[in-house]
Amino acid sequence: MNKNGLIAEIAKRTGSSKADIGRTIDAAIKVIRDTVSKGERVSLVGFGTFERKRRNRRVARNPRKPATPIVVPARDLPWFIPGKEFKEMVARRRRTVARSSSRR
């Protein structure tokens, strides 16, 4: 599902207009981006947590030239940690799909 599909599904479930839902989703994403870029966490209970993580400087290797080290600089990255309910829902769905495919 892409953003337009998400907007259409939310509009169908809530009865609101697609334009209103689109603006709401855009605003929510902007708030999450701004907050995480400042170094703060955004926790959505049952869904997950967005945060900024620091990846340390490291030395990488090119498989074609393993003797030549490549220094990868330290950087900050966005990080998402799924919540307990979200993980359980995905795991439950996966077990259901695995069972139904094994019956064939």
| Domain limits for position 68 | 39-104
The model's pLDDT over 53-89, given as tens digits with 9 standing for 90+, comes to: 999 999 999 999 989 999 999 999 999 999 999 999 9
48/25 same-domain check: no
% the chain with pLDDT above 70: 89
Cβ(54)–Cβ(74) below 8 Å: yes
61/98 same-domain check: yes
Distance CA 58, CA 73 (A): 7
48/28 same-domain check: no
CATH number at residue 89: 4.10.520.10
18/60 same-domain check: no
Rg for the chain (alpha carbons), in Å? Answer: 20
* Reported confidence tier of residue 20, pLDDT bands at 50, 70, 90: very high
Residue ranges of the alpha helices (H) in the chain?
A: 3-14, 18-37, 84-102
Domain count, the chain: 2
